[in-house]
Structure 1
Amino acid sequence: MSFQPVVPLGGYAGWRFLERTMERQQEAFNKSTVVQRDLDYFAEKIGKVTNAEELVGDYRLLKVALGAFGLQDDIGSKFFIRKVLSEGTSARDALANKLADKSYFKLAEAFGFGGVGAPRTQEPGFAEEIAEAYRERSFEIAVGEQNDDMRLALNVERELTDLASNSSGDDSKWFSIMGSSPLRQVFDTAFGLPTSFAAIDLDRQLEVYREKAEALFGSSDAAQFADPDKREQLIKMFLVRSEISAGSAGYSSGQIALTLLGG
């Protein structure tokens, strides 16, 4: 039995529906046979895995490991994933530290194959930690099959919460946002930036992001998105602008402004 999330509406109205029904829908999804079968296998086998080679060599384990970090599309790139995992994150020149997408860093850090001592696969509670992330990501993907904008909005709630509240500097936070494809799509759309914007000088991109954030949210600081109200405002801007861009809402310029400002 497989539960498919229900997203009957698009745009911000659809997001509000999803928010109201999220707990019940996610609970039903987590009980799906396919999800539970994957996680039962992972819990049974992962404690015996001691290196990257063994993890990459088991398709079912790798499916859960990558899925927990939103990297499920890389399941065929075994050499690349093995290198990310085996080098770990301790060495400055480790591959995970060089990649703009920090999902690879989180993957390598979580499994701990490149460090000193036993990997984290041997730790109590590790399987459930990865399982929880896998459930959350898998639900996002299932929602995305109904409406991809809703998947991106869910990603904002999860990823931006952690990023905005961590101890890194403001530059680092903004660069992490720009290095995350899902977050970048949300911010670029909310800020009204063209697709070509991503091709300009990175420092100039940072300046524009700060200018837009200041104008729209009252602060240029990326840490402001630790505030759930600011995240909700961002999601609303993204969904409204995305719906307008898709041509599904015949708003005038005045109606657009009222939609973005109002409830």
Structure 2
Amino acid sequence: MTFQPLVPLSGPGGWSFLKRTEAMQSATFARQPAIQRDEAYFRGKIGSVRTAEALVNDRRLLRITLEAFGLEADVNARAFIRKVLEDGTLRQDALANRLTDKRYLELSSAFGFGDFSVPRTVLSDFPGEVMTRWKQQRFETAVGGVDGNLRLALNARRELASLAAGSSSETTKWLRILGDAPLSTVMRGALNLPRSTAALDLDQQLSAMRSRAAAVFGADTISQFKDSSTVERLIQRFLVTASFGEGSGSANSALTLLQQSRSFLRRL
């Protein structure tokens, strides 16, 4: 039987319940036979993979790998993923460095095929690193099957913390959010901006979000979300807005985009 996360409430109440039970529920989720079989397969095979070609030629390994980085919709884009991996991250003109979607950079850096003579796949702790990411991503997907807004909240909690800690400029960080449908949905809901702002030109959207963030959170920076309590305030505000209908209409479409590849970001 497939484990389905238990979320008896929607909105802030459901979020509070999910946070309280997240460790227990995610552990139960990870004990499912299908999850354990995929984990065993990855752990048993990945140490012998020394090239990007070998990885992309094993469809099961490739699927699990891409799921770990939220890129599962690219499972058929083998040539593209191979190029991302083989280019590595050390050269400025490496493909992963030229893509706006930095999940590809994380993927290439994690495996190290293009950066080192011996890839990181041979390290004893490498399978555990990837499996931790993979099980988190799979659990979030399962939560989305019950409540799409809560999956958006889990995604925002993880992605905002990573984005806030990055070294990019504040403008670049805001543009990353504007180019990410799930994150921008959460941000617009938390800032109580109407959906129509998404139709404005990029400069106007950026100005509206930064101005409203300063009014709501006290600063117009993404770096302020290094503070987990600020992230929590944002999520609570988003869920309240969504529960009153302002954000719920766009949540399903954003969730669909979250489940698919945001491949248009590659070309920005």
Q: Please give the range of the TM-score, normalised by the shorter of the 2 chains.
A: 0.7 to 0.9
CA distance in 1, matches of 2:45, 2:181: 32
CA distance in 2, matches of 1:10, 1:114: 45
List alignment gaps of at least 5 residues for structure 2.
249-268
Q: Please tell me whether the aligned partners of residues 190 and 241 of structure 2 are also in contact (alpha carbons under 8 angstroms).
A: yes
**Higher deviation after alignment, 10-19 or 177-186:** 177-186
- The residue matched to 1:116 in structure 2 has which SS? coil
Q: State the Cα distance separating 1:207 from its structure 2 match.
A: 2.3
- 2:174 corresponds to which residue? 174
Residue by residue over 1:192-214, the C-alpha shift from the partner in whole angstroms, topping out at 9 and shown as x without a partner, is: 34555445443443322211110
- 2:44 corresponds to which residue? 44
Structure 2 CA distance for partners of 1:94 and 1:194, relative to 1, 3 Å: farther
- 1:226 corresponds to which residue? 226
Alignment of 1:1-263 (within 5 A): 1-195=1-195, 197-198=197-198, 200-245=200-245
Q: State the Cα distance separating 1:94 from its structure 2 match.
A: 2.2
- The residue matched to 1:146 in structure 2 has which SS? coil
Q: State the Cα distance separating 1:62 from its structure 2 match.
A: 0.9
- Give the aligned residue type for 2:187: F
**Higher deviation after alignment, 166-175 or 53-62:** 166-175
- 2:258 corresponds to which residue? none
CA distance in 2, matches of 1:97, 1:195: 31
Q: CA RMSD in A?
A: 2.0
Structure 2 CA distance for partners of 1:247 and 1:82, relative to 1, 3 Å: closer
What is the aligned residue count? 248
Structure 2 CA distance for partners of 1:129 and 1:183, relative to 1, 3 Å: same
Structure 2 CA distance for partners of 1:77 and 1:100, relative to 1, 3 Å: same
CA distance in 1, matches of 2:95, 2:121: 21
List alignment gaps of at least 5 residues for structure 1.
249-263
Q: Please tell me whether the aligned partners of residues 64 and 134 of structure 2 are also in contact (alpha carbons under 8 angstroms).
A: yes
Q: Please tell me whether the aligned partners of residues 102 and 180 of structure 1 are also in contact (alpha carbons under 8 angstroms).
A: no
The share of aligned pairs that are identical, in percent, is 48
CA distance in 2, matches of 1:202, 1:101: 17
Q: Please tell me whether the aligned partners of residues 210 and 221 of structure 2 are also in contact (alpha carbons under 8 angstroms).
A: yes
Q: Please tell me whether the aligned partners of residues 88 and 109 of structure 1 are also in contact (alpha carbons under 8 angstroms).
A: yes
- Give the aligned residue type for 2:15: W
Structure 2 CA distance for partners of 1:125 and 1:176, relative to 1, 3 Å: same
Q: State the Cα distance separating 1:55 from its structure 2 match.
A: 0.7
Q: State the Cα distance separating 1:124 from its structure 2 match.
A: 2.2
Q: Normalising by structure 2, report the TM-score.
A: 0.85
CA distance in 2, matches of 1:154, 1:162: 13
CA distance in 1, matches of 2:46, 2:196: 43
Q: State the Cα distance separating 1:156 from its structure 2 match.
A: 1.6
Q: Relative CO higher for 1 or 2, CA cutoff 8 Å, sep ≥ 6?
A: 2
Structure 2 CA distance for partners of 1:4 and 1:220, relative to 1, 3 Å: same
Structure 2 CA distance for partners of 1:123 and 1:72, relative to 1, 3 Å: same
Q: Normalising by structure 1, report the TM-score.
A: 0.87
